[in-house]
Structure 1
């Protein structure tokens, strides 16, 4: 049992199917890391402004504020929640709460079963939350106009409802 293993129905030694970890996987991982470093270095060194917002390159004018200021892409969902609440204090509280919730959610899950494999309703609500975050991110980059304001308010309500229900 200790020589062939308990999960070996044929009883044959399968050492020929194995490859050593060190040379193969080490070289493979180092090659992948070097390719990523080269791609990121070439992006940063040769075209650093490629992913920047064009409004950032307009000379500053203290008398004229651009009408469509928006934050970086990773805060657009929180900016959409901030804009969806007309009350200033309520908007700021919702903004802080929306970011704080994402940091606290992993600490709240105390079930012994960590997987959502056997909880299809939770899986469905998770994917609704992901789609809602994408919607809020998209809405955060749009101007403050009629259809976008309503969509942002509905998406903000869905965001907080999904957090409460999950």
Structure 2
């Protein structure tokens, strides 16, 4: 099984790991924070159309829909003039037929809980360097969790500037 190293355990990392695992890869997710960042905090994340379809195919739609924010009115403050109240359902209907808003921490927890049994997560570490080309790369972490681990691919979600070419 080809191994893949993924940086980031928030939203994109677990989703990518889920699909890679499903298609025969062995993903490992590396997260720099010492524990999962979850709970009721964080910004709201809006899932539209294809995002909704992805979580449906992962079997997570019911959980995500149940944990939604239930925001109905959004108030837009203006420099001049009175604030404007906007119906969120009507606004999102202009973008997509399907929409759900959920707090990032809640979404992160749902994704982690759905993937942690089949995917290895390494907390308190990050990818500091990547060496090699194409199929055979060697990554080094900032903490001595698994230094010099070999993998077939490295997927970076918003990599630190030091890793960008």
Place the TM-score, normalised by the shorter chain, in its bin.
Answer: under 0.3
Question: Greater Rg, structure 1 or structure 2?
Answer: 1
Q: Which has the higher strand share?
A: 2
With normalisation by structure 1, the TM-score equals 0.21
- TM-score with structure 2 length normalisation? 0.21
